[in-house]
Amino acid sequence: MANDHDEQKPSASLALLLEIVRCPKCAGDSTKGILDPVREHTWLVCRDCDRKYPVPEDIPVLLVGEGTKWQHTAVADLPVPPPSPE
Ligand SMILES: [Zn+2]
């Protein structure tokens, strides 16, 4: 079994998701709300509002409330792996 855990690339399914997902807070404008993966793709950061969305198990949790919770947390301080939503 190949071990790809050293790679920083997202899995194929996550890469595909990243092309279509946008920050739910900013997505009303189609040019806004682009999410950049950080911390080895365990978090997504909105370029416009700086909300940060956790990606536990390669599944982005795109809830405004969740993003707001981490909005003022520095990227370097985000927990890895991210907490799963309750
Ligand atoms: Zn946003």
Position 7 in a domain: no
Predicted pLDDT of residue 15: 79
Predicted pLDDT of residue 84: 74
Position 62 in a domain: yes
Q: How far is the CA of 64 from the centre of ligand 1 (A)?
A: 8
Position 3 in a domain: no
Position 34 in a domain: yes
Predicted pLDDT of residue 37: 92
Domain interval for residue 43? 30-77
- Per-residue confidence in pLDDT tens, the chain, 86 aa: 544 555 567 778 877 877 888 999 999 888 899 999 999 999 999 999 999 999 998 889 999 999 999 999 999 999 999 987 66
Query: What is the number of other CB atoms lying within 10 angstroms of the CB of residue 28?
Result: 10
Give the C-alpha separation, 36 to 34, whole Å. Answer: 7
Predicted pLDDT of residue 29: 83
How many domains are contained in the chain?
Answer: 1
Position 44 in a domain: yes
What pTM, to 2 d.p., does this model score? 0.82
Q: How far is the CA of 26 from the centre of ligand 1 (A)?
A: 4
Q: How far is the CA of 47 from the centre of ligand 1 (A)?
A: 7
